[in-house]
Structure 1
Amino acid sequence: MTATDTPTAPHLATAERFVPIQTRSERPTSFDPTDFGTPTGREVNWKLSDRKRLAPLFVDEETETGSSLGIDYGVDELVERGLLVESTGVDTAPRGEIFRPEDVVSAIAWKRSPNALHIRLPEGAVQDAPVIARLVGQGADRHANGHIVIEAMPGSVGTIVLHHSGSAQYAQNLEIIVRDGARLTLVSVQDWDDDTVHASAHQAVVGEGAYLKHMVVSFGGGVVRVNPSVRLAGHRAEGELFGLSFADAGQHIESQVFLFHEGVETRGDVLYKGALQGTGARSVWIGDVLIGADATGTDSYEKNQNLVLTDGARADSIPNLEIKTGDIAGAGHASATGRFDDEQLFYLESRGIEEEEARRLVVIGFLMEIVQKIGVAEIEARLEEAIDEELRRGAGMAPATKAGA
């Protein structure tokens, strides 16, 4: 059965559409945008979202710019290294091998993206240098849809960075396939201008003995909603999901994370950290972990931490854990949101460090734990610079000149 003729999930019948789906594993899927309808805010996956600013992405129509012309895909490096695979049509494998839209934005992006950008790491090959694909928005008034397939073939090793910048209204699907024995690091950096609206659905599957490090880093953009879903399908599959965000006044940064332990003896670790400052700064994190009935020997942990730097900022954090077998190695979750630790500030100030610099050191120390996990010096340097820019802006200082990643 092809992706286009997949039947509509029965959960989406009109009479039942207003019954909230509370369990993450029961969320319906469909390739037809009309099966979802326009979000009302009563749906569990939309109730904390900025639906007003996301509204342009709810419209299913061909735009003046076409499917993807609102985004300039920087693929020169991919072509030079032989990692770009021609991919046309919604039925061209491996597109649709694992991806199933879970909301109207994702379904529209599927429908309106006739061609997928397909990046493939060759079987058994080790990429010594990271692969950086630069996606640049062509204007906040330009709407774009996109589908990207990232495929790590058996035994391959590599790091792929998707760096987003510029301005756009961009709906994106990202399909990640980590074949048996492969080791993939995938970093998605949202470094948008402040007028951007960006919603992205990441869906990944990890095969036997394979490993995926998945990272979401969001600084720029007016509204940025990146929802990763990772299925540890193979025996001893491993997944590490890390996130980093910094929300300024008026920014809405959101991630709804789903980690599904399906195979035997799988290991998963989720750690998301966020900082917020300014009136109207908002972050939303929802973390769902499902340990399946056959996932014996699972070891899983998820944690979200938020640092609120000023009045008027708000962080929502909701961790959920669903276990369907009693034979596990361990499972747990945690969430914490708070302000500066007065003891840390007192310790630094007592050693002659001015308050502003002491606060800067506390924030950098809090966020750099995630930055240092990236493993790409160019990106780590840019993010450390971005953190400094955010803190300077919050202190009423002029930001430093922004360097490209």
Structure 2
Amino acid sequence: MTSTDVKGPESAGDPVANEVVGGAAGAAPVLAQEVISEEDRGRGKGPKLEDEGIAVKDGKPSAATRGERHRSFDVAEFSRPTSKNEEWRFTPLRVLSPLFEDLATEDREGDPAVDYQVSVPEGAPEVGTLAPGQSPRGEALVPEDITSAVASARTDQALHLRAPRNAELAEPFRLTAHGRDAERRSNAHIVLQTEESSTATFVLDHTGSTRMAENVEMVVGDNSQMTVISLQNWEDDALHIATHHSKVGRDARLKHIVVSLGGRAVRVNAIGEFSAPGGELEKLGLYFADEKQFLEHRIFVDHAAPNCTSNSAYKGALQGSGARSVWVGDVLIRREAEGTSTYELNRNLVLTEGARADSVPNLEIETGEIEGAGHAAATGRFDDEQLFYLRARGIPELEARRLVVRGFFAELIQQIDVPEIRQALSDSIEDELQRSMN
């Protein structure tokens, strides 16, 4: 029922670090081609469930689950993170330290720290605002860390984009947040809502430079369908920590896509909760880290209702000295969540020496009455067999390498339903490859 596909530490940019991370991920470095049969598991051979990052509860005393993390709107209840905190141990805290300060947005007269441009599709109400405590603000997102708490407290009026009941909106909502200065702090709280039996797509594009602490709250009403595409297209000096928190209603569906290409350091924590049976949650992610760039993506799926389905797939490429990516996937299947089906996958392609990718999949299971649960993670270089195959057919090596990377990302890009974004991503990846392979 589980799948672990973690290549040996020799396949990543930092052998020592990846060996350590392999243990942390619960997969003592196992070559991808090694297969451990269920019969061998029964004899005690190969990694046990705990070694694969899977915790199966049986009523015995255990540590607190991921779902029991402290939440509060009160900034004073949170301290600055340290490397001893599990959820921050991979993060460059010194680089991101400006976002741990309780500071207001540095707007100036006629010159906001971030310029917001919003386009609303036909059939949707105009952009609204929500004060703290004004529904639906706070229905899904309650901060779990100091940055999220500050973003909430320092945003007097959250932007509210809403698809009304029974509406099927053909065009997406579009919100562009353009930072004006890499030295200026900005805070944001955005609420996206699909009311009962509605369908809508929301595109959030982050450009320019700033130091942004951001909350994105997604309230997915019963029998509704929401798609959210968050693009991190920052300049090279931007800092960004975002918490995306969704609550999925009965028989509702959320497709959540995160694309991170720009920024000095970007961390996106995407949390999804099922509040009623029959929900579906799909989390997709794509990232490309360059020299001295840090990109971190964390996902948490809380199966708190029966008969729900979640699937997560993130893919990243890295190039250049000091390029760093982190992916941490947590799935909690609570005792009441019978009939759950879940799977999470992360793949990383290291294009040059000096880059490092950390990948940590985790499962917590409190009931055995589930449909299925599994995870897979791998970090590797170019597949020599693929390159040989292409070169044997007369394709030059540089072009063959580009084709491999394009194919690596193609599956995820094709799942983005907005054509111009698909094309823009393909162009951006081509630009990255031109820089690294010429």
Q: With structure 1 as the length reference, what TM-score do the two structures score?
A: 0.90
Query: Could you tell me how far apart the structure 2 residues matched to 1:113 and 1:307 are?
Result: 38
2:104 to 36, 51, 62: 62
Tell me the alpha carbon deviations over residues 286-308 of structure 1, each in whole angstroms, 9 at most, x when there is no partner: 00001111111111101111000
Does 2:145 align with 1:103?
yes
- Given that residues 69 and 144 in structure 1 are in contact (C-alpha distance below 8 angstroms), is that contact kept between their aligned partners in structure 2? no
1:71 to 108, 114, 118: 114
Query: Could you tell me how far apart the structure 1 residues matched to 2:369 and 2:313 are?
Result: 24
Query: Could you tell me how far apart the structure 2 residues matched to 1:160 and 1:235 are?
Result: 24
Tell me the alpha carbon deviations over residues 55-86 of structure 1, each in whole angstroms, 9 at most, x when there is no partner: 111111335427x93111112x2287644342
Instruction: Identify the residue that residue 331 of structure 2 maps to in structure 1.
Output: 289
Instruction: Identify the residue that residue 89 of structure 2 maps to in structure 1.
Output: 47
Tell me the alpha carbon deviations over residues 325-384 of structure 1, each in whole angstroms, 9 at most, x when there is no partner: 110011101111100000000000000001000000000100121111111001000000
Equivalent pairs, count: 374
Give the deviation of 1:317 after TM superposition.
0.3
Query: What are structure 2's unaligned runs of at least 5 residues?
Result: 1-62
Instruction: Identify the residue that residue 163 of structure 2 maps to in structure 1.
Output: 121
Does 2:306 align with 1:270?
no
Query: Could you tell me how far apart the structure 2 residues matched to 1:160 and 1:241 are?
Result: 15
Query: Could you tell me how far apart the structure 1 residues matched to 2:306 and 2:358 are?
Result: 32
Does 2:146 align with 1:131?
no
1:178 to 220, 226, 248: 220
Query: Could you tell me how far apart the structure 1 residues matched to 2:126 and 2:154 are?
Result: 21
Which of structure 1's runs of 4+ aligned residues deviate more than 3 A?
79-85
Instruction: Identify the residue that residue 20 of structure 2 maps to in structure 1.
Output: none
**SS in structure 1 opposite 2:129?**
coil
Q: After TM superposition, list the pairs within 5 Å mapping 1:306-345 onto structure 2.
A: 306-345=348-387
Tell me the alpha carbon deviations over residues 256-290 of structure 1, each in whole angstroms, 9 at most, x when there is no partner: 10011111110110100000000000000000001
- What amino acid is aligned across from residue 112 of structure 2 in structure 1? L
Query: Could you tell me how far apart the structure 2 residues matched to 1:331 and 1:285 are?
Result: 19
Please report the RMSD computed on the Cα atoms of aligned residues, expressed in angstroms: 1.5
Does 2:186 align with 1:144?
yes
**SS in structure 2 opposite 1:311?**
coil
**SS in structure 1 opposite 2:430?**
helix
Tell me the alpha carbon deviations over residues 43-65 of structure 1, each in whole angstroms, 9 at most, x when there is no partner: 11111011111111111133542
**SS in structure 2 opposite 1:132?**
strand
1:80 and 1:127, CA in 2 relative to 1: closer, same or farther beyond 3 A? Answer: closer
Instruction: Identify the residue that residue 56 of structure 2 maps to in structure 1.
Output: none
Identity score, percent: 48
Q: With structure 2 as the length reference, what TM-score do the two structures score?
A: 0.83
- What amino acid is aligned across from residue 114 of structure 2 in structure 1? I
Query: Could you tell me how far apart the structure 2 residues matched to 1:260 and 1:221 are?
Result: 29
1:63 and 1:268, CA in 2 relative to 1: closer, same or farther beyond 3 A? Answer: closer
Instruction: Identify the residue that residue 15 of structure 1 maps to in structure 2.
Output: none
Instruction: Tell which has more relative contact order, 1 or 2 (C-alpha 8 A, sep 6+).
Output: 2
- What amino acid is aligned across from residue 355 of structure 1 in structure 2? E
Does 2:404 align with 1:362?
yes
Query: What are structure 1's unaligned runs of at least 5 residues?
Result: 1-20, 397-405
Query: Could you tell me how far apart the structure 1 residues matched to 2:430 and 2:65 are?
Result: 39
- What amino acid is aligned across from residue 350 of structure 1 in structure 2? A
